[in-house]
Structure 1
């Protein structure tokens, strides 16, 4: 079988709904946490597919997360080799940094909750999530790396880019909508009322977001180039 490696920055942000299309495409999934001592020497170029997940830290939070420079360097080598790579939220920001773009706190504040994205390319795999409210949970953004194509935006931030067939970076979370680990995300909220609104939205809008996200990832995986 083909190999897929998930890089987890925190235990509660795994591939969630994306697991199904990845496994259906013939990948055996493994994972590694950045806190694992083995991560420092892990060869991120080796897996057939690399999935870099999200986390509450920023690319610039190096003092608190000393593994960040090493991860960006490893990602840079993988992306230079055009190895199939998917980045989600922080993972997308890591990919942008590895491609030489700036990543920074967004001037529009935190974007948290379910909302649709606006497509910049109606023919990309993101067409599956067109008009579907998906989960946003970020306050950082990035400049568009050179040689990449912007795929989607919201009023506040860029929401995705790709380079060729093999590199896909998504700022939003269409993998989340049916994962019980969402409760851990809610623990970061200061406003109890907002927590209730998000829980309700997660239950009502989450399943459709996941189905759309699965179709998006399945189409992207089907177009990968060896």
Structure 2
């Protein structure tokens, strides 16, 4: 029996795990955190069926976290090798840097539930609809990598999602479940810049929007899982 290769999930903080992505993959997942490792031993691309890079509060180009350089190298190689890649929030910014795009620190803050305009078709992102209301939690932004297709945008953050070959980058957080949102809102690192009324507004908006967003996100990540399983 052929052994199924796992999906590598790179995390940066304990509370920003893969969430709904893991269920969509519907197969083995290997979670690693290499953020502060100057010489991380990451698996060879031939050993994985996909690569997922999650969010975190650090800057994508922060030299104080040497593992980010290794993540960038891995993502560039994965795109070259046509390995399915998914980058979320910080993960999208690392992906964009790996593909030669510029990072813009403190470009504009978006925190909470708000719509994004989907501007192009994509087999994964398309499951969310044309103007889904999603969870944002960022202040940095990136330029569109050369040759990539812009998929979604907001006035504050022109590049909210892009497709570059086998790679999909998402600046927002469709992976979040209700329990994950509760965890984020109880995590000081996530809420230190918010006042109590803003925290409660996000909680209330989650109760309103997640019942629609979660089933759509499940379909989106199932589509990503199909790309992963096609690699084997």
1:10-69 per-position Cα deviation (integer Å, ceiling 9, x unaligned): 11101112222111xxx2111011257597121362311111000011112223x22222
Q: Unaligned regions of 5+ residues in structure 2, if any?
A: none
Instruction: Give the aligned partner of residue 11 of structure 1.
Output: 14
Superposed displacement of residue 70, structure 1? 2.2
Tell me, yes or no, if structure 1 residue 88 matches structure 2 residue 70. no
Give the CA deviation at 1:208: 2.0
- Is it true that 1:129 corresponds to 2:133 in the alignment? no
Paired residue secondary structure (2:208): helix
Q: What is the RMSD of the two structures over their aligned residues, measured on CA atoms?
A: 2.1
What's the CA shift for 1:196?
A: 1.1
- Please show how residues 110-189 of structure 1 align to structure 2 within 5 Å: 110-122=109-121, 124-130=123-129, 131-157=131-157, 158-164=159-165, 166-178=166-178, 179=180, 180-182=182-184, 183-184=186-187, 186-189=190-193
Contact 2:35 2:68 in 1 (8 A): no
Tell me if the contact between 2:20 and 2:176 (Cα under 8 Å) persists in the aligned partners: yes
Question: TM-score, normalised on structure 2?
Answer: 0.86
Unaligned 5+ residue runs, structure 1?
A: none
Match of 1:58 in 2: 59
Q: Does 1:216 align with 2:220?
A: yes
Work out the CA distance in 2 between the residues paired with 1:136 and 1:209. 13
How far apart, in 1, do the equivalents of 2:36 and 2:122 lie? Answer: 39
Q: Under a length normalisation based on structure 1, what TM-score does the superposition of the two structures give?
A: 0.88
On the 8 A contact 1:102/1:142 being kept in 2, the answer is yes
Q: 1:202 to 1:11 in 2, by over 3 A?
A: same
2:35–2:66 CA contact under 8 A, matched in 1: no
- Larger deviation, residues 209-218 vs 132-141: 209-218
Structure 1 134/39 Cα, relative in aligned 2: closer, same or farther at 3 Å?
A: farther
Q: Partners in 2 of 1:187 and 1:104 — Cα distance?
A: 22
Once the 2 structures are TM-superposed, how far is the Cα of residue 105 of structure 1 from its aligned partner?
Answer: 1.8
Task: Indicate if the aligned counterparts of 1:79 and 1:85 stay in contact, CA closer than 8 A.
Answer: yes
TM-superposed deviation, 1:188: 3.1
Mapped to 2, the partners of 1:119 and 1:135 lie a distance apart of: 15
In terms of fraction of residues, the more strand-rich structure is 1
Distance 1:36 1:123, change over 3 A: closer
Q: CA deviation at 1:189?
A: 3.1
